[in-house]
Amino acid sequence: MPCRSCHELYAASELDRYLFCPPCRQQIRRRGASWGRIVGLAASVGVAAYVVVAAQPSRPYLFLYALALALTYVLASRIASSLVQGYYRAKAGSRQ
């Protein structure tokens, strides 16, 4: 069976349910992860800037803001990563 992205022949058991071979799968995951890091970082910086400007954190609540920042990073990077991976999967599929 040909991989949907690089069109090299693989055994059907080696392809995933999107018909991507292991190297292409890894590449898509890497791209998703690096975009996820960028978007997560940008979102965290945005939230941090907002907190400093608008909320002016006081000491007792500082750990809550840190928690919110960590959560923002994790959520934003996860969402961005899955969006980017979906984008590359769709792109590879339509190029056939």
What does the binding site for Zn ion look like in residue numbers (CB under 5 A)?
3, 5-6, 21, 24
Contact assessment for residue 21 and residue 14, using Cβ atoms and an 8 Å cutoff: yes
CB of 6 to Zn ion, least distance (A): 3
The CA distance from 42 to 78, in Å, is 13
Q: What is the DSSP letter of 2?
A: B
Mention every residue, 6+ apart, whose C-beta is less than 8 A from residue 31: 84, 85, 88
CB of 81 to Zn ion, least distance (A): 20
**Measured from the CB atom, is 58 or 96 closer to Zn ion?**
96
**Measured from the CB atom, is 27 or 34 closer to Zn ion?**
27
CB of 21 to Zn ion, least distance (A): 4
